[in-house]
């Protein structure tokens, strides 16, 4: 079994909600709020409906050209973060990929 298959299998077996780890999510939420404020000093973030980019490369190029990062609000519900913080988390995640020119694949996620 490949690493990706093991990850997918573990993900599929994981509970959809585990109350025993809520404190970890709350700690991450505090970090998200702090990091989101930081990236907003470096780039404009706009939350939009739908998918604003055709590809990851398109996102990276448009963001570098315009200084604007568009983040989809689609499917943003989260049992602890709520939609707003989850979208801020998405912004931080995508910003890190843009700044590192990292692909949105397993290697890019790990880097």
Two structure tokens written together for 92: 């931080």
Which residues are CB-contacts of 95 (< 8 A; sequence separation ≥ 6)?
39, 42, 43, 69
Binning pLDDT at 50, 70 and 90, where does residue 110 land?
confident
| pLDDT (0 to 100) of residue 1 | 87
Structure tokens at 52: 């604003």
| Cβ-contact 51, 74 below 8 angstroms | yes
Question: Token pair 């780039």 is at which residue?
Answer: 43
Q: What pLDDT does residue 87 have? A: 98
Determine the pLDDT at residue 27: 97
Q: What is the pLDDT of residue 61?
A: 94
Q: Which of 91, 70, 87, 69 is nearest to 78 (CA)?
A: 87
How far is Cα 81 from Cα 15, in angstroms, rounded to an integer? 17
Q: Residue 101 and residue 46: Cα distance in Å, rounded?
A: 20
- CA gap 47, 79 in Å, rounded: 20
């Amino acid at each position: 079994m490949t690493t990706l298959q093991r990850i997918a299998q573990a993900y599929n077996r994981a509970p959809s909600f585990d109350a025993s780890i809520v404190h970890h999510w709350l700690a991450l939420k505090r970090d998200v709020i702090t990091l989101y404020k930081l990236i907003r000093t470096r780039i404009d973030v706009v939350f939009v409906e739908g998918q604003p980019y055709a590809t990851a490369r398109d996102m990276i190029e448009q963001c570098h050209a315009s200084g604007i990062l568009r983040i989809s609000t689609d499917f943003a519900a989260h049992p602890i973060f709520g939609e707003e913080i989850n979208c801020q988390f998405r912004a931080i995640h995508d910003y890190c990929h843009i700044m590192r020119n990292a692909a949105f694949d397993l290697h890019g996620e790990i880097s």
